[in-house]
Amino acid sequence: MINDVQNKLQSFPIKEFQDDLINWYLAEKRDLPWRKDQDPYKVWVSEIMLQQTRVDTVIPYFNAFITKFPTINALADADEEEVLKAWEGLGYYSRVRNLQAAVKEVKETYSGKVPDSPLEISKLKGVGPYTKGAILSIAYNIPEPAVDGNVMRVLSRILSIWEDIAKPKTRKIFEEATYELISKEDPSSFNQAVMELGALICTPTSPKCLLCPVREHCTAFDEGVQSELPIKSKKKKPKPLQMAAAVLYDNTGKLYIHKRPPAGLLANLWEYPNLELDSMSGKTYRDQLGEFLLNEYGIEAELSELTGTVEHVFSHLIWNISVFIGKVKNVNDTNLLPVTEEELQRYAFPVSHQKIYQIYKKADLS
DNA sequence: GACCCGTGGTC
DNA sequence: TGACCAAGGGT
């Protein structure tokens, strides 16, 4: 297949393609906050945030994050709790844990300068083949491929590549093609231009081919198959889980929260005590929750009737959470943290547990 | 290679 | 409204 693509590139007008694409990009590119300079740190932060995340979502997070942590050293020295809080709501939280670990590595091993060699930058946590190429090309103007979903969609149409872009090994085909296609004079603009084209013109559904600056070089458009490319196999559906959660409060008005383990789903985030329910147990959700609070956290609470439900969809799971409110009667040895509602604002919660808190706020506690 | 890891927007 | 998505990486 790689030979197949190499053959197509033999007769492809590479120089004209580069010029048309880059000229369009320079004229039409969006004014995004991470494009104000080529600071490798800011490019890096933006690329991590943009992984599987829309530009419009990222913009406010990026601005706040850079204000809070303007430099490598600032992020390296920051309190982990504060860093996680700055990521709250963005999702894929291991991204920011890896980012801070990598930034510490840059501070210590590379004197605070983001390395500009493919080998060194690849060793940094959270920097995979895409992010490596993105930083090297955008920040350092080095002609490395940065193959993301946009690049695979655009090039699959331009070159009529019918491989399944959902398969990991397929990325290699597009990297090989990009080595040939990329502008050696302006790799930064070239890589960003392909992604910008994918975001604005060569969209997944109903691509705006009549506005496309490289339409005359597009094999798929020429053959009228642009809407059938790229080929992308389906992902499986998320699996539903029945859960119960308790918002516990005591007579001083404090709420009892729990820090999730440092690995796995929502690692290191805070949550209201909760468990996965056993529908075969014959016990009510409320009783299962009450026993769990006692056994797991040594807390006796007077639980409400069902106060509300939260549904939260992850990429691979659906949580169906029954929410109860509990007045704490007796606390033994517990690893729950009692906090005031003001202190609550300092801790990072996943969106699902923000929804749980909203149910508590709306409930009538009389 | 398969699976895990979030969230909000869109049609 | 369910399905699909959006600048992927780790294990």
User: Rounded to whole angstroms, how far apart are CA atoms A322 and A186?
Assistant: 55
Which residues from the 151-210 window of protein chain A have CB within 7 angstroms of nucleic acid chain C? Answer: 153, 192, 195-196, 198-199, 203-204
Q: Where are the domains of chain A?
A: 2-228, 239-362
A254 CA vs C7 C1’ separation (Å): 42
The arithmetic mean of pLDDT across residues A305-311, rounded, is 96
Query: At the top level of CATH, which class does the domain A239-362 belong to?
Result: alpha beta
Domain A2-228 matching CATH 1.10.340.30: the answer reads yes
pLDDT at A208: 96
CB A240 within 7 Å, strand C? no
Q: What tens digit of pLDDT does each residue of A190-230 get?
A: 999 999 999 999 999 999 999 999 999 999 999 999 999 99
Question: Which bases of chain B are contacted by protein, using any atom under 7 A from a CB?
Answer: 1-9, 11
The arithmetic mean of pLDDT across residues A309-328, rounded, is 96
A47 assigned to active site: yes
Q: What tens digit of pLDDT does each residue of A72-123 get?
A: 999 999 999 999 999 999 999 999 999 999 999 999 999 999 999 999 999 9
Q: Is the pLDDT of residue A364 over 90?
A: no
Q: Exactly one of A16, A47, A120, A276 is catalytic; which is it?
A: A47
